[in-house]
Structure 1
Amino acid sequence: MTSTDTHDETQDSGPSGYAAARLRLLTEEARSGPPRRAALARLTDDWLTGLFAAGAEQFRGVSLIAVGGYGRGELSPRSDLDLLLLHDGSDPKAVAALADRLWYPVWDLGIALDHSVRTPAEARRTAGEDLKVQLGLLDARHIAGDLGLTAALRTAVLADWRNQAPKRLPELRELCAERAERQGELQYLLEPDLKEARGGLRDATALRAVAASWLADAPREGLADARRRLLDVRDALHLTTGRATDRLALQEQDQVAAALGLLDADTLLRQVYEAARGIAYAGDVTWREVDRVLRSRAVRPRLRAMIGGGKQNAERSPLAEGVVEQDGEAVLARAARPERDPVLPLRAAAAAAQAGLPLSLHAVRRLAATVRPLPTPWPAEAREQLVTLLGAGRPTVDVWEALEAEGLITRLLPDWERVRCRPQRNAVHIWTVDRHLIETAVRASAFTRRVHRPDLLLVAALLHDIGKGWPGDHSAAGETIVRDMAARIGFDRADAGILAALVRHHLLLVETATRRDLDDPATVRAVADTVGAQGTLELLHALTEADALATGPAAWSAWRASLVADLVTRVSAVLAGDPLEEPEAAAPTAEQERLALEAVVTGGPVLSLRARTEPPAGSTTGQADTPQPTGEPEPLGVELLIAVPDQAGVLPAVAGVLALHRLTVRTAELRTLELPEDVEGSVLLLDWRVAAEYGSLPQAARLRADLVRALDGTLNIAGRLAERDAAHPRRRGVVPPPARVTVAPAASRLATVIEVRAQDAPGLLFRIGQALEDAGMRVRSAHVSTLGANAVDAFYVTQEQGVPLPGDEAVAVARELEEMLRA
């Protein structure tokens, strides 16, 4: 059916005809995107025009106006209708009757309606009081009735907006900032709000309002495409869900991607992020220009002339060769010749970041249009300027984004294209891959005084996840990529080898420290053999901390820092030539002996809880972003000591009781304590580190009482945990990946190491402990590492005789454990 046919049927059939024509339009596969939105707006215009004509035959001085998104002619499938019934005030009763004839048919069809009935004076007054109303009226579009009335209102509203711009634009900017604080940045969210988040459709509308003020204008190149892409995604989201939603939830991303003809959900998110990044960057540039104009207007002409020395242009202060500061931005000097100076982009970026200034849009675009490619390998100055840029700290982010917005980063580093705007489907990561790399460099800039080669640290921070754009293990892929990139950047073979090693092993320290027994000589020896040199260990330690801090709050803590520092100290000693000796069983402390004897006397479990802290971490780097000591000790968790007469089922019982009391286990060590010869029986000593999920710690007496019941079988831990799970079911549509259990070969000569990767959940350690108990395993220690929703736990197990499991038996136990967790 043609557009004309659709309009005719709408007029003939009324609401039912409109609904049928609307449904056909939304299901036409041949029409989507801007054409469908425009056609839907025209279809709705014709229907409302018919309703208006039928009710307004008796009087004049009234018009129907579309505002907001409808005013722009951008109707998504589930968009609400923003309508203003404007009248001259001559016949209020007739206007009220007309409003009923318009609004009720809309409501009858179940279409959301945002409506108002006002005179021009009321509309202008309301706009002056409510910024959101004024923004909607800036897009006012005539539908039906008195065209002169509509035109007069549009003219007056635009004049008011331009006259009031110096006051209203700061209000608009504050409104945008509050929304960004509340909704986050669209370009980094796994479930973004396409409209409200920073870089979303609201911000694109705000930029239109700034342009309408004639005070400043947004960079137009690419902005319309970015806005169109977000609208296309919202259309597909509305059709997929059947709801008027702007939040792109995880469970709907595959369907939305398919509706748009995209490969998968990652491709969808990457396109959304690219669009949001373009809008957000345009917003940054535009608001800087607004600030500049408002500052200049605030300065009286005579004073402005005094400041400028009577010159037309603002003062220009040199920053570097070919780069000057002007009016709060880094710009190119008049004598700069980008076509003859291929290092100028990096020099300008480094100078801007070091000065804490934004790089002007004009400068970046001129560089992108005229600069020559760098030779291979880069000249020494180019490499030095890159390191200077990366070492500038927080200002690096804005300067890097300016270069990336004009395509300069991928021209300098072609491998960057594969990680640009790449989503990370891991709740621990709060950034896309490329922004995480920049954030890691920012964090590493605070540690440059800790290492002998800060240049290698900063470049490794920038490139450590560059392999995430390729299939397979990103660390292995990154090693190959970085070796080649380092040579192109101009590092010699030895330095390129160090950078490749840092990228290959950037997870080594934190994974080993949190998942392996540091008292086992095999653990320390394996790390020392892998690292090979003190200088590499020093760099790897700083990179590990910078990487974790740049990942998100869940990736780093005082506890993790203490474990990594302990591992580094031990490995450093080995690299320095100190011998590694087989550990001897540590003599029990006085408190452990007391608990053990009390357990023998009482015949039941005895426990104590004690908070463990370490002095606050300080730094003498002098960097502005470096955390400074607060004088308060940092918590490392709580030490839980339990002594219990040796018996079966201790590990699952303790793990289950802790889960019921919402205590998170970080490490768990179990051993049989040798008692004096005159004391009969043996005692299991459990030395664990725990932390409360939220709230305060439970009382030790309550833990002991529940542990007694768990050991004698009167406390049904599995049933209690199941009841709690049933009360808090998983989110609809979110299916975690299946658990995976492996045997770590040669990880220890004292025990067999079984590693479990699974979705974290209350009682997970209880279920694993029960399964190992049922398999006849003795658990020497457990090392628990939880990142977001993912648990990676390592268990050092032996046979009853205290020796490691034969290879076949270890594999069989791992397979049974995996099947149990997947059930």
Structure 2
Amino acid sequence: MNELAISAIERGGEPLAGLGALVLDGAWGRQVRDYLARAKAILFEQHLAGATGLAVVESYTRAVDHVIRALFTAARASYQERFALLDQRCTLVAQGGYGRGELNPCSDIDLLFLYPHRRDRYVDTVTEKLLYALWDTGVTLGHAVRNVRDCVRLAAHDFKVKTALLDARYVAGDAGLYTEFAAAMETEVLKRQATRFFRDKLAENEERHRRYGDSVYLVEPHLKEGEGGLRDLHTAMWLAKVKFKTNSVAELVQKGIVTEGERREIEAARDFLWRVRNGLHFLSGQHMDQLTFEYQERIAADFGYRDDATAKGVERFMRDYYLHAATVNRFSEEIIARCVERPTSYRFIGRFVGREIRPGVRVAAEQVAVGDPAAFRADPSLLVRVLADAQRHGLPIGNATRRLIRENAALLADDRVRCTPPVVAAFFDVLGWKTGVYDALNEMHKLGVLGALLPEFGNLLCMAQYDRTHLYTVDEHSLRGVRILEGLRAGAYKQESPLLTEVMRDEDRVEILYLAMLFHDSGKGQGGDHSNRGAEHVCRVAQRLGLHADEATQLEFLVRQHLTMSHLATRRDLHDEKLILDFAKMVGSLPTLRKLYLLTFADMRATNPKLWNSWHDMLLGELYVRTLAVFELGEFAAPDEGLRARRIRQRVADAIGHLAGPPLAAFLADMPDRYFLSVPESDIPRHVTLVRRYAEEPVVTHVMHFPEREFSEFTVVTRDQPGLFAKLTGVLTAHGMNIVGAHITTSDRGMALDVFRVSHLGRAVIARSDDRWEQIQVTAGRVVGGGLDVEELVAKARRPSSLPEKVVPRVGTRVEVDNDVSEHFTVLDVYTQDRVGVLFAITNTLYHLDLSIHLAKITTNVDQVLDVFYVTDIDGR
């Protein structure tokens, strides 16, 4: 029984000020429902007025206790009206969260109806009366009817039953029977099979973390089951109850297992999580535990968080949530570690025993440990060095040593300490080691060492990003990027990204790459362009770490330009020679290009798994290879485009002239230079074949699938007409296709050759369905021929779903115009909320504005789209 449960029972009296007592005199279910509704209304007002999480859960638990006791008394009286109450005994026992005294407003109520030996009419009457009354209230109710022997037997063989009974608490009925039950649990369950119970609970804990995202720092965290959620704390306290025979954090303090400061910290964190969960239940009106975007802003406002110049109120609220969740996670991990660690002593006859790996640092019981509490003050570099030792030996740091590191981490906050050669050398040993870089940095971050050593990174601690693009907080995202780079170095992505793997294998200064990953977003949360602010930060970092001038310059460039390569690859025409040459000049050197390529990959992949796919891999790789060629050839001047186009025409004529005949000559003459400069030469023979069919068919279509690259290519050859691209976009949209790119060419004789690329991601079955493409080809012919209105077609596809719309942060619409990146076109970047038919709406608007689209690149980042169009006006300018 925990401390909250005890207080809830002992206080007695009126369950909640202003609520009064429950009087049952008729329809019990309705009366109980009304009573609990009044209780919740009172508690909601108190919650909005700033009541603590503890105050609300404790008060609601007392209100439910009052209901259960009133129902039990009424049920017993009902039985006595018909039968004599002799030696029949029944006890109502609260289990789970109700047993812990931790009921949030819409929590489940879990009851055990306990009887001594045989189930009799009295037990059945009490059970039936209570259950029917509670079911009528609409509460979610869990229940079991067992005798003491059954409880002991089930708990001994089913760890879930044992777990539920660990939180058992007397509510009503025969108190003596509850005492017998508690004694039986103590002697026959808690003291037996502890090892098996620990094993089962730890496996359950690991699976739960995996199922709910395996991170404290998810943008829509699960308050109960997620990492850093309340269940982490429950698990730790269950194991502590079995191991140390404790019922509360206060008792852990009494036994010297945690400090008084740690108790205050974990109780504050738990209270914050309770308060958030209370708010979520009050606002949603249901048992809900995932803190979705829909409720984050509302709860933040209720808690008094407001927007300011540097961050939204909801982002500051979520940062506080992550800080408290991290506290729960850390506390739980340490308690669990204490529960399962092997009994061993690091001291023997006054001497610290174990294998010494450096003065004062030993390996004992398969852990790295420091025996002297004063060692870190004597030599602060040991704070980093001991983590490097653990990394090299592949061993965890002992619990007592972790606590010492956390207590002394602030020693590194002084420049006179963190800039010393021993500290810097130890840190670079961590970065340069062949394995365990992410694990070591993550441990440094958890223990406060990384933030003290690198305050620019420490400022990112639990920094929230209120959008669906970023799956994690800024610090977690940056560390995961390091893990991805480390995995790339180990060959984890060699099947899906062989080029990146090869480039990483040749990287000889991974330390600079890891630093760039750590600091690429360090400018966030300060207003202005975060890339430029981050570059300013790393200049200071480079100076403190003593980097050579060329390394410092490279690091600054990588942070300042960390978004450039992804922007160019996904938003610009990679066949534009000027763009490639300008990019190569900006990068300046081949080693910097390699690092920027690797950094871009890790950044995109660490942001959100949905952002990285084979399509992005191909685009980024194409930009890298084209820029690499510039460095290898050493030609930084733009070649004559007319000359390049003539050479390509000649190569095509030489390759297939004997097959294509006169139509090829006409094709080569009619198609503009830009076509030959921007289309892969290997595609031209196929296009020639389609154009030959066009002589006999008004609309020619062709589909090719590229499953290994996860896209299909849809080509249309027909007579050009106003709004053709918008019409074809509408056809594909109406049939559920996800367009990621398009290339539009019009010949000198007015023939259109439009090529669309359609992604397979999330819809491979549809995108590769022969039946679906046959429908598309037929529909395209009808739309182009004027027999079908494309706007009506798209309107049908927009029919609202019967499912509720998922609430997400709204994305504003904005349009950016770039007249500098291309010599021939104006480039429009359109940012807007993703929705059915949005691409058709944009292209149709551009058509009505008399703009001709020549190239389109479509990017969807979870719920935001960025559509890029290379356009000219009606006169081709």
TM interval, shorter chain, is: 0.7 to 0.9
**Letter of the structure 1 residue corresponding to residue 688 of structure 2:** E
* 2:404 is the counterpart of 1:359: no
**Letter of the structure 1 residue corresponding to residue 330 of structure 2:** Y
**Letter of the structure 2 residue corresponding to residue 610 of structure 1:** M
**Aligned match of 1:161:** 190
**Aligned match of 1:463:** 519
**Aligned match of 2:378:** 340
Q: Distance in 1 between matches of 2:780 and 2:447?
A: 63
Question: C-alpha displacement at 1:412, in angstroms?
Answer: 1.7
Contact 2:520–2:562 (CA under 8 A) maintained in structure 1 = yes
**Aligned match of 2:60:** 40
Question: C-alpha displacement at 1:773, in angstroms?
Answer: 1.9
The partner residue of 1:200 within 221, 229, 232 is: 229
Matches within 5 A, 1:583-732: 583-584=641-642, 585=645, 587=649, 589-602=684-697, 604-612=698-706, 634-635=708-709, 637-673=711-747, 681-692=749-760, 693-695=763-765, 696-699=767-770, 701-728=774-801, 731=805
Q: Distance in 2 between matches of 1:494 and 1:550?
A: 27
Q: Distance in 1 between matches of 2:273 and 2:97?
A: 13
Matches within 5 A, 1:216-365: 221=262, 222-263=265-306, 264-293=313-342, 316-319=354-357, 322-332=360-370, 337-365=375-403
**Aligned match of 1:182:** 211
**Aligned match of 1:412:** 453
CA 668–289 in structure 1, closer or farther in 2 if over 3 Å, else same: same
Q: Over residues 693-717 of structure 1, what are the superposed CA-to-partner deviations in whole Å (9 max), with x where a residue is unaligned?
A: 3314243544332211111222333
Give the 3-state SS of the residue equivalent to 1:640 in structure 2.
strand
Q: Distance in 2 between matches of 1:63 and 1:135?
A: 19
The partner residue of 1:375 within 402, 411, 415 is: 415
Question: C-alpha displacement at 1:590, in angstroms?
Answer: 2.5
Matches within 5 A, 1:30-69: 31-56=51-76, 58-59=85-86, 61-69=89-97
**Aligned match of 2:680:** none
Q: Distance in 2 between matches of 1:148 and 1:440?
A: 59
Give the 3-state SS of the residue equivalent to 2:805 in structure 1.
coil
**Letter of the structure 2 residue corresponding to residue 256 of structure 1:** I
Question: C-alpha displacement at 1:163, in angstroms?
Answer: 1.1
The partner residue of 2:844 within 733, 749, 770 is: 770
The partner residue of 2:200 within 160, 171, 192 is: 171
Question: C-alpha displacement at 1:685, in angstroms?
Answer: 1.9
CA 721–381 in structure 1, closer or farther in 2 if over 3 Å, else same: farther
Q: Distance in 2 between matches of 1:521 and 1:30?
A: 62
Question: C-alpha displacement at 1:441, in angstroms?
Answer: 1.5
**Aligned match of 1:502:** 558
**Letter of the structure 1 residue corresponding to residue 64 of structure 2:** T
Contact 2:14–2:20 (CA under 8 A) maintained in structure 1 = no
Question: C-alpha displacement at 1:452, in angstroms?
Answer: 4.2
Query: How high is the TM-score relative to the length of structure 1?
Result: 0.85
What RMSD over aligned residues (CA atoms) do the two structures have, in Å? 3.2
Contact 2:227–2:329 (CA under 8 A) maintained in structure 1 = yes
Contact 1:460–1:543 (CA under 8 A) maintained in structure 2 = yes
CA 391–759 in structure 1, closer or farther in 2 if over 3 Å, else same: farther
**Aligned match of 1:807:** none
Question: C-alpha displacement at 1:10, in angstroms?
Answer: 0.6
**Letter of the structure 1 residue corresponding to residue 759 of structure 2:** A
Question: C-alpha displacement at 1:511, in angstroms?
Answer: 0.8
CA 231–337 in structure 1, closer or farther in 2 if over 3 Å, else same: same
CA 55–513 in structure 1, closer or farther in 2 if over 3 Å, else same: closer
Question: C-alpha displacement at 1:174, in angstroms?
Answer: 2.0
Q: Over residues 303-344 of structure 1, what are the superposed CA-to-partner deviations in whole Å (9 max), with x where a residue is unaligned?
A: x99xx9x99999734555654333232222669821122221
**Letter of the structure 1 residue corresponding to residue 319 of structure 2:** R
* 2:804 is the counterpart of 1:784: no
Question: C-alpha displacement at 1:592, in angstroms?
Answer: 1.6
**Letter of the structure 1 residue corresponding to residue 183 of structure 2:** T
Q: Over residues 44-72 of structure 1, what are the superposed CA-to-partner deviations in whole Å (9 max), with x where a residue is unaligned?
A: 33343344345447345332222221222
Question: C-alpha displacement at 1:368, in angstroms?
Answer: 2.9
314-323 vs 551-560, which moves further:
314-323
Contact 2:39–2:60 (CA under 8 A) maintained in structure 1 = no
Question: C-alpha displacement at 1:600, in angstroms?
Answer: 2.8
Q: Over residues 635-656 of structure 1, what are the superposed CA-to-partner deviations in whole Å (9 max), with x where a residue is unaligned?
A: 2633333322232222112222
Contact 1:649–1:770 (CA under 8 A) maintained in structure 2 = yes
Give the 3-state SS of the residue equivalent to 1:78 in structure 2.
coil
CA 125–756 in structure 1, closer or farther in 2 if over 3 Å, else same: same
Q: Over residues 654-705 of structure 1, what are the superposed CA-to-partner deviations in whole Å (9 max), with x where a residue is unaligned?
A: 222222333322321112235xxxxxx4422223332233314243544332
Question: C-alpha displacement at 1:477, in angstroms?
Answer: 1.9
* 2:484 is the counterpart of 1:443: yes
Q: Distance in 2 between matches of 1:9 and 1:286?
A: 41
Q: Percent identity?
A: 28
CA 663–313 in structure 1, closer or farther in 2 if over 3 Å, else same: farther
The partner residue of 1:191 within 220, 230, 233 is: 220
CA 459–152 in structure 1, closer or farther in 2 if over 3 Å, else same: same
Contact 1:315–1:327 (CA under 8 A) maintained in structure 2 = no
Q: Over residues 752-782 of structure 1, what are the superposed CA-to-partner deviations in whole Å (9 max), with x where a residue is unaligned?
A: 1111112233433322222222222222211
**Letter of the structure 2 residue corresponding to residue 245 of structure 1:** M
Contact 1:186–1:198 (CA under 8 A) maintained in structure 2 = yes
Q: Distance in 2 between matches of 1:567 and 1:444?
A: 19
**Aligned match of 1:106:** 134
Q: Distance in 2 between matches of 1:231 and 1:717?
A: 53
Q: Over residues 392-424 of structure 1, what are the superposed CA-to-partner deviations in whole Å (9 max), with x where a residue is unaligned?
A: 577444444433333333222223343212233
CA 107–592 in structure 1, closer or farther in 2 if over 3 Å, else same: closer
**Aligned match of 1:737:** 811
**Aligned match of 2:42:** 24
* 2:601 is the counterpart of 1:581: no
CA 795–246 in structure 1, closer or farther in 2 if over 3 Å, else same: same
**Letter of the structure 2 residue corresponding to residue 10 of structure 1:** A
CA 787–119 in structure 1, closer or farther in 2 if over 3 Å, else same: same
Q: Distance in 1 between matches of 2:394 and 2:92?
A: 51
Q: Distance in 1 between matches of 2:352 and 2:841?
A: 70
Contact 1:785–1:792 (CA under 8 A) maintained in structure 2 = yes
CA 483–53 in structure 1, closer or farther in 2 if over 3 Å, else same: same
Matches within 5 A, 1:116-127: 116-127=144-155
**Aligned match of 2:572:** 516
Mind listing any 5+ residue stretches in structure 2 that lack a counterpart?
Answer: 1-12, 26-30, 78-84, 246-251, 307-312, 490-503, 650-667, 669-683
**Aligned match of 2:21:** 10
Q: Distance in 1 between matches of 2:574 and 2:452?
A: 45
Contact 1:426–1:788 (CA under 8 A) maintained in structure 2 = no
Contact 2:384–2:449 (CA under 8 A) maintained in structure 1 = no
Question: C-alpha displacement at 1:459, in angstroms?
Answer: 0.6
Question: C-alpha displacement at 1:123, in angstroms?
Answer: 1.9
CA 142–393 in structure 1, closer or farther in 2 if over 3 Å, else same: farther
Give the 3-state SS of the residue equivalent to 2:524 in structure 1.
helix
Question: What is the number of residues matched between the two proteins?
Answer: 764
* 2:165 is the counterpart of 1:137: yes
